[in-house]
Structure formats: structure tokens, C-alpha cells
Structure 1
Amino acid sequence: MENTRHVYMIPKKKNKNVTTPTIHENESKISDDIATNVDKTFANDNCGDTNRCDLNEMNDISVDKKLKRKIQVREANQKYRDNQKKHYDKLKLQNKQLTTEVEQLKYELHKKTDSMQLHFANVYNVWYCEHNNLIQSIHKALITNYKDSDIIPILNNVMDHFKHLFYVNNIAAKRDALNIIYGVWMKPTERCIMWVGGFRPSDILKLINTHVYLTDLQSKNINELQSSTIHQERKISNTIANVEQKLAVRLVSDGFKDKGDGLALTNYIAHISQSMGNFHAMETYLHQADQLRLNILSNLQQMLTTKQFAESLLCINAYFKRIEAINCA
């Protein structure tokens, strides 16, 4: 007999406290859930709109800052260009004014130089006319056999007149030594014969030794004086030639090649200015030459008798006349 198992289902006990919801309660609960979901959806929608508004405001602020920055940069650039233009116009005006002033100064300098040359030429012509009058007085005194005591004052006047010429030379040389030394105021023939703005002392000694009757001792003394005078003339001439040579060397020097740094021109101008500064020392050389001329005349006055010295002055004036005649030829 087969064993069979029987399963008995134990029925669950019903909970008396649990109540079955009614249809009305279910509908109310569904309505509440729907309202809650609607509120949440509405809240989410409002939050999204707020975020989008904030983002748009931030974008607008960023755009405004960029635009404002561009405007500021544009205004700054325009202000810079305006300032540059004003500065350029100011420099252009200053350059024009300086150019005008330089041209005016050049004109005044040229006018002043011409006036100075003309003034000195007039002064020398007046001096030469007075010198001729004094020489005529000496000539008259020798012809009429004036006493030595009567001739000496005339000779002293001639010496004072030469001193006045050398004084005028010194004053003029302070303004323009080159004008006096190179005889710009002279005629071309005079410039060829004259020496450092005047007569050559050694030529005067040769002239007197040839045309004035002298004793052997006087002739010897004059020859010695002539030798020492020639030595001093050469010294002055060599000094002037050295200054001229230095300037010429500076002008053709290869040591001022431009390397693109602008220093070549600056150094060149400095060296030329230094060389030109030596030209300003020409005043000293002119003074030395005039002093040598005056010393020769003073030595002749001491070495010769009154009438011999008077004849010497006549020979010197005849020498000037020969130069004047050559100029007129």
C-alpha cells in the first residue's frame, strides 16, 4: 500500500485591524499624488528658468566688459596717436624755427665778416695815408737839411704810427685772426708778397743793406740781425704751416669710418673742432710777427744814425709804393 502524504493548508488569520480602503479614499490619494508631482514639476521648471536667467546675465556682463575694454583700448590708441602727432608737429615747428635762426645767423655772420674786412681795409687805408704824410715830412726834412733834433720827433711819430698799426692788428685779430694773417683785406699781389699780415722783416733789412749807405760795422750788424730775423720768421711760418697741415690731415684721415653707431661723425667733429681750435691761436702768431717787425724797426733806429734811419724809412715807403704799383698794373 502506497504511502501518500496529505498537505493541509492552514488558513491565514484575518487581521481585524486592517481595513480595506474605499473607492473615495483611493481617489483622494491619487489626487494628492498628482498635485505633489505637479508642484515638483513646477518647482523644477522655475529653478531652470532662474539658472538660465543668471547665465544670460553673466554672459551679458562679460560682453559688456569686453566691449568696454575694446573701447578703452581704441581710445588709448587714438590718444597715443594724437600725442605723437602733436609731438611731431612741435618738433617740425622747432626744426623750422632753428633752421630760420641758423640762416639768419649765417647771414649776419657773413655780413659782419664783410663789414669787418671792409672796416679793417678802411682803417688800413687811413693809416697808409697818414703814413705817407709822415714820410713826406721826413723827405722834406732831409732835403732842407733839418737838424737831427728836428728830425727825431718826426721819426718818433713814424714809430708810434707803426705801433698803432700793430695795435689795430691785434684788436682785429681777436675777432678774426685768419682775416688779418692771410691778408683777406689786401689785394692779390700784396697777399703774395706780404708775410703774416704785413711786411717781411728780413726783406726790409735786405732793402736797407742795399740802398742805404752803411759802415762796415753797421752792415755786419744788419747781416747778423737779418740772419736771426730769418730764423724767427721760419719758426713762425713753420708753426702756422704745421697748424694748416694738421687740419688737412684731419680732413683726409681714414680713422673716422662710419660703423653705423654714429660715433664716427662725433669723433670727426671733435677732432676738427680741436684742429680749428689751433687756428684760434693764430692771434698769437700774428702778435709774434708784428712784434718781430717792431723790434726790427727799433733795432734799426738804435743801430743807425738819425739821417740813416730817416733814409731807411723812405726806402720802406718806396717798397710799399712798388707793391701798390704792381697792384695797379
Structure 2
Amino acid sequence: MADASPRTDISTDDTDDQDQRFERVKAIGVAVSDPSDRSNDKSNQKTLRRLAQNREAARKSRLRKKAYVQQLESSRLKLTQLEQELQRARQHGMIISSSGDQANATSGNGAMAFDAEYARWLEDQNKKVNELRSAVTAHASDTELRIIIDAAVAHYDEIFKIKGNAAKNDVFHLLSGMWKTPAERCFLWLGGFRPSELLKLLGNQLEPLTENQVVSIGNLQQSSQQAEDALSQGMEALQQSLAETLSSGSPSPSGSSGNVANYMGQMAMAMGKLGTLEGFIRQADNLRQQTLQQMHRILTTRQSARAILAIHDYLCRLRALSSLWLARPRE
């Protein structure tokens, strides 16, 4: 009995040590497992967020698809309606395709013919101006200069005649300025330049001027400005009248003969008003022509030569500016 007691104490101590070691291993195991659990939670949260985002993207995609289908259906209905209106218009004799195609072809050919004539005129103008420049540089006599200047002024009269014929075929082509460079179109007024603005640009080029010349140039500029304002107001009134004519009544012909008649009457009125555009172009070119001729009468021979050269150089710079702008480097 005395020998057994110490061994029992030793066994108890060993058991306690084993229990402590087990607790430490368990604690270590818990400590090791916690990061894994947290990582799994984060992964699960990311998965849930990704699924939620996918569901939201799918929902938006379905909405876009639904809107697109609705838009297609609406476009189909509008196209069907337009086809029906077109068919009704044909039945009432509103559209004659052959004559319409022929008119479009004639208009297109007229614009192309004018562009070719203008290009030829511009080439001849360059030759006449170069001749005038050489005469001025060589200090030619006033008699020789006068002959060259008269030819240059007469050459301007030719372009006004060409434009008058072109306006009968396609007045919109002249008004749009598509026969000119983009920079020139920025300063376009009723198919050409503003005479009053041109006189302002020539102010520094014509000095020295006599007192009578200053007064005459000032009066010419003022009268040109007044005529320009009157033509601009007339053009604005025409545009307003056209807008009112086209916006009144039924927007499109329907099947009834009464509505078709009203529609045709409305379009006939608009066509009649468009016919006055040719008159506006003709009056604007007449003003330009008269301004150049009167300026030629006011100035001396040498001053007229400088004026023609200055006008030509200004227009050449505008054309060069357009070329440089179109050729600019783009990122």
C-alpha cells in the first residue's frame, strides 16, 4: 500500500498534463480553423454579390430587349401607315414618278453644269488677276491698266449672268453655297458676298482717298447696307410665311377627296412662295454687281486695280483656309 500511493500521484499528474496538452491542441485547432471560416464567409459574400449583379444585368438586358422590340413594332406600324398614305396619294394622282424622276435628274444636272461653269470662271478670273498684278508691278500706264480693269469687271458681270441662269434650274443649290468652299460658306449671304462688308474690308487697301471719295464710298456702303437689310427681312418673311403655310391644315393627305384637295392646295401655295427665291437671288446679285460698278467709278485707275487685287486675295485666302482646315491633323 505504501508503494502504490506514489505511483497513483504520478499517474494523476500525467493525466493532467495530457488534458492540458489536449486543450492546447484544441485551442490551436480552433485558432487555425477560424481564418478558414472567415475566408469562406468572404468568398460566399463575393459569390452572392456576383450573383446579384448578374441578376441585375440580366434584368436590365431584358428591359432593353423589350424596349427594342417595342421600338421595332412602332417603326413597323409607322412604315405601314406611310405605305398606306402613299398608296392613297397615288390613287388620287398626287405622285407621278416618271416626271418626278425626270425633274430630279434635271435639277442634279443643272447643279453639276453650274459647278463646272463656276470652276471655269474661277480659272479665267485667276488669269485676269495675274495679268493685272503683273501690270501693276511693272508700273504700266493708266491706259493699259484701264483696259485690264475693265476686262476684270466685265468678268464679274459674267458670273452674275451664269448664276441667274442657274437659279432657274436649282435655286437651293445657289443658296446652300455648296459650290463654294466651307470657309466661304461661313460668310455667304443669299448666294454670295455682302457688298457692304466687302467695302469695309477694302477701306485700308484704298488709302489715300480724297474727301469726295471718302463721302462717296461711305454713301455707297450705307445704301448697300440698307438694301441688304431689306432683302434679309424679305427672306425672313418668306421663311415665316412658308412655315405657316406648311404647318396649317392637315399634316398629310387622308383617304377623303376633300382632305386631298386641301393638301394639294396647301402645297401649291408653298410652291408659289418658293418661286420668289429666284427673285431674291437675282436682286442680291444685282446689288453686288451695282456696288462693284459704282466703286469702279468712284476710284482712280490705280485704286481700282488695288481693289480688284484685294478682293481676289481675300477670297483666295478663304479658299486656302478651307483647304488647311480639311487637311489639319486629327487625333
Using the size of structure 2 for normalisation, the TM-score is 0.64
Task: Please give the alpha-carbon distance, in whole angstroms, between the structure 2 residues aligned to 1:228 and 1:118.
Answer: 35
String of CA shifts for 1:268-302, please: whole Å, max 9, x gaps.
Answer: 33133212212112222211111111111111111
Task: Please give the alpha-carbon distance, in whole angstroms, between the structure 1 residues aligned to 2:167 and 2:294.
Answer: 25
Gaps of 5+ in 1: 1-91
User: Aligned AA for 1:311?
Assistant: R
- Report the equivalent of 1:221: 216
- Report the equivalent of 1:245: 240
Between structure 1 and structure 2, the one with the greater Rg is: 1
Q: Within 5 Å, which residues of 2 pair with 1:36-115? A: 102-115=96-109
Q: CA deviation at 1:258?
A: 8.4
Q: Are 2:321 and 1:326 equivalent residues in the alignment?
A: yes
Q: Percent identity?
A: 28
- Report the equivalent of 2:289: 294
String of CA shifts for 1:22-54, please: whole Å, max 9, x gaps.
Answer: xxxxxxxxxxxxxxxxxxxxxxxxxxxxxxxxx
- Report the equivalent of 1:85: none
- Report the equivalent of 1:315: 310
- Report the equivalent of 1:148: 142
- Report the equivalent of 1:197: 191
- Report the equivalent of 2:51: none
- Report the equivalent of 2:28: none
User: Aligned AA for 2:223?
Assistant: S
2:213–2:298 CA contact under 8 A, matched in 1: yes
- Report the equivalent of 1:274: 269
Structure 1 residue corresponding to 2:230, chosen from 228, 231, 235: 235
2:235–2:280 CA contact under 8 A, matched in 1: yes
User: Aligned AA for 2:215?
Assistant: K
String of CA shifts for 1:203-230, please: whole Å, max 9, x gaps.
Answer: 1111111322123432232122111101
- Report the equivalent of 2:126: 132
User: Aligned AA for 1:135?
Assistant: V
Query: Taking structure 1 as reference, are residues 258 and 170 closer, same or farther at Cα in structure 2, changes over 3 Å only?
Result: closer
2:164–2:282 CA contact under 8 A, matched in 1: yes
Task: Please give the alpha-carbon distance, in whole angstroms, between the structure 1 residues aligned to 2:127 and 2:183.
Answer: 24
String of CA shifts for 1:3-39, please: whole Å, max 9, x gaps.
Answer: xxxxxxxxxxxxxxxxxxxxxxxxxxxxxxxxxxxxx
- Report the equivalent of 1:170: 164
Gaps of 5+ in 2: 1-86, 326-331
Task: Please give the alpha-carbon distance, in whole angstroms, between the structure 2 residues aligned to 1:104 and 1:188.
Answer: 35
User: Aligned AA for 2:157?
Assistant: K
Q: CA deviation at 1:136?
A: 0.7
User: Aligned AA for 1:170?
Assistant: G
Query: Taking structure 1 as reference, are residues 259 and 103 closer, same or farther at Cα in structure 2, changes over 3 Å only?
Result: closer
- Alpha-carbon RMSD: 2.7
